[in-house]
Amino acid sequence: MAPANCPMGPSTRALHADDALNVVSDVAPPMHVATTFRYSDNPDDLVPVADLSGYDQEKTTHIYSRLTAPNPTRFEAILSSLLNGEAISYSSGLSALHAALVLLNPRRIAIGNGYHGCHGVISLFTRLTGLQKLDLDCPAEQLEAGDVIHLETPVNPEGTAFNIQAYAEKAHSRGAYLIVDGTFAPPFLQEPFQWGADLVMHSGTKYFGGHSDVLCGVLATQRKDWARQLFQDRVYLGSVMGNMESWLGVRSLRTLEVRVQRQSQNATSLVSWLNGALHAPSPAPDSDEAVVQRALEQVFHASLQKEDESWLLKQMPRGFGPVFSITMKTEDFARKLPSKLAFFQHATSLGGVETLIEWRTMSDATVDRRLLRISVGLENWEDLRQDLVTAFRELVEDK
Ligand SMILES: *Cc1c(COP(=O)(O)O)cnc(C)c1O
């Protein structure tokens, strides 16, 4: 057990925040596959459901796996510590957003472009409740008490960041709530509660899972009443995480900080090199810089938001998200680039240890067709740079 009252760093918490739930001698947490758990053999310990609040029960006691189970409970214990709020896990990022909207049931939601799937969840609510969508930057007067601002930051697909504090102040000035979808900047990179978020959402499928093999979602809140309601709602929504997924999730969280730090550094190094090459004054003909300038149109990433540094360096003091986007000179270049790369796999999703690139129009109908999204993995960034330059060269030489 971790010593009490001892402030621990994030990696220590990722390895020990679930110590109290470790009721076996196994060093590696076992996977529990049971859906149902025996009640106590001692009749005096039996508590009928009418007298029981599942939310307050001992975290090592389980009844039925739609309520709680050992592996998801350990996953949530670690995330509660890392996110600085009580974490509730779900079967996917979108089922977490669904649960957030069931909790708050807003009449209006202000939202930007961002991840297209979140708009799909909102349209379900529009059908059921008449939920009205507003522009993210709508005048504050359009928001009323109980409404929601949904801020995705850094935002999909560009990887550029928004000022959480400014949106929190705007929401709170109207009695509305701020949900932050922080999927692109997991803990250590960004702490949304510190800047006024009411609810933090993550697609855990991305960095929490981190190995492209777990689908899950997470909500975190610092309000006990909300945590209790979310827990009770999830019993009836039924959107719990599977045992296998949460077992993999615990395995993955142990290395979250080192993975994300390295991925963030890799991404920032690549972005800085690409953008430097793109803007190099009169490069020598046939140099790498000249090739970049013939192939590439623009680079998007929070590290390039020089005009926002006054708030950005406060809100993301330890580095920027590991996802960035580029636009190519032509749609044809964008379509062909993935086929010319050795270390970037052409696939959707992000956050895994392996670098992915996606011609984003393959899965999002709303984006510029010249845009590619890159999720930087753990390869050595110099190899990724070389791979990109070689591919750009082949494109402009039409090989
Ligand atoms: C992937 C993603 C989601 C949806 O998560 P799922 O786990 O796929 O349901 C939501 N928001 C963002 C920013 C995402 O990247």
Query: Starting from the edge strand earliest in sequence, which strands make up the sheet with 371-375, in order?
Result: 296-300, 323-328, 371-375, 356-359, 345-346
Among the candidates 200, 225, 253, a domain finishes at 253
Same structural domain, 308 and 232:
no
Ligand 1 centroid, distance to 305 Cα (angstroms): 24
Counting every residue written for the chain, the total comes to 399
- Distance (angstroms) between ligand 1 centre and the Cα of 203 equals 5
**Exposed e or buried b per residue across 196-228, where buried means at least 16 C-beta atoms within 10 angstroms of its C-beta:** bbbbbbbbbbbbbbbebebbbbbbbbeeeebbb
CA distances (Å), 163 to each of 144, 182, 312, 316, 332, in order? 21, 12, 7, 10, 35
Ligand 1: which residue has its CA nearest to atom 9? 93
CATH assignment of the domain containing 105? 3.40.640.10
Number of the ligand 1 atom closest to the C-alpha atom of 217:
7
Contact indicator for 217, 238 with CB cutoff of 8 Å: no
> Are 199 and 270 in a shared domain?
no
**Same domain assignment for residues 259 and 222:** no
The domain that contains 338 carries what CATH number?
A: 3.90.1150.10
Checking DSSP bridges between strand 323-328 and strand 296-300, what pairing results, if any? antiparallel
- 206 CA from centroid of ligand 1 (Å): 8
198 and 174, same structural domain?
A: yes
Q: Domain limits at 274?
A: 255-398
- Give yes or no: residues 196 and 220 share one domain: yes
**Residue 92: how many CB atoms within 10 A of its CB?**
18
What's the CA dihedral at 94, 322, 12, 249 to 10 degrees?
A: 40
- Same domain, yes or no: 197 and 289: no
Does 127 fall in a domain? yes
Among 194, 228, 253, the domain-final residue is 253
Q: Are residues 215 and 314 in the same domain?
A: no
Distance 154 CA to ligand 1 centre (A): 13
Please indicate, yes or no, if residue 5 is contained in any of the structural domains.
no
Atom of ligand 1 nearest to the CA of 215: 7
**Closest residue to atom 8 of ligand 1, CA basis:** 93
For ligand 1, atom 1, the nearest C-alpha belongs to 203
Residue 385, domain member (yes or no): yes
The tens place of each residue's pLDDT in the chain, 399 residues long, gives: 555 566 799 999 999 999 999 999 999 999 999 999 999 999 999 988 878 777 888 888 999 999 999 999 999 999 999 999 999 999 999 999 999 999 999 999 999 999 999 999 999 999 999 999 999 999 999 999 999 999 999 999 999 999 999 999 999 999 999 999 999 999 999 999 999 999 999 999 999 999 999 999 999 999 999 999 999 999 999 999 999 999 999 999 999 999 999 999 999 999 999 999 999 999 999 999 999 999 999 999 999 999 999 999 999 999 999 999 999 999 999 999 999 999 999 999 999 999 999 999 999 998 999 999 999 999 999 999 999 999 999 999 987
Q: Is the domain of 80 the same as that of 216?
A: yes
pTM of the complete model:
0.96
Q: How far apart are CA 66 and CA 82, in angstroms?
A: 24
Best of 89, 115, 189, 349 to mutate for ligand 1, by most ligand atoms within 8 A of CB?
115
- The rounded distance, in Å, linking the Cα atoms of 28 and 46 is 31
Mark whether 321 and 185 lie in a shared domain: no
2 within some domain: no
Asked whether residue 144 is assigned to any structural domain, the reply reads yes
**Whole-angstrom Cα distance, residue 388 to residue 144?**
48
Q: Are residues 327 and 178 both part of a single domain?
A: no
From the list 104, 175, 101, 106, the residue with the least C-alpha distance to 141 is 175
Quick one: which of 55, 79, 17, 67 has its CA closest to 219?
79
Mutate to test the pocket of ligand 1, among 111, 113, 184, 206 (most ligand atoms within 8 A of CB): 206
Instruction: State whether 196 and 312 are in the same domain.
Output: no
- If asked whether residues 358 and 276 sit together in one domain, one would say yes
Amino acid present at 225: D
Ligand 1 atom 7: the closest Cα is on which residue?
93
Question: Domain count of the chain?
Answer: 2
Place of tokens 């109290």: 20
The answer to whether the Cα torsion of 251, 257, 261, 267 is positive or negative is positive
In a domain, 224, yes or no: yes
Contact 184, 323 (CB under 8 A): yes
- C-beta atoms surrounding 332 within 10 Å: 13
Residue 398's pLDDT is what?
86
d(CA 312, CA 386): 30
- With the most atoms of ligand 1 within 8 angstroms of its CB, the residue from 101, 183, 246 to mutate is 183
pLDDT at 3: 58
Residue 130: the pLDDT is 98
Residue 282 CB burial class (10 angstroms; 0-12, 13-18, ≥19): exposed
Whether residue 128 is contained in a domain is answered as: yes
Is residue 245, in this structure, part of any structural domain at all? Answer: yes
Structure tokens at 155: 């935002």
Ligand 1 lining (C-beta closer than 6 Å): 92-94, 115, 117-118, 152, 156, 181, 183-184, 203, 205-206, 215, 217
Q: How far is the CA of 58 from the centre of ligand 1 (A)?
A: 31
Last residue of a domain, one of 253, 275, 302: 253
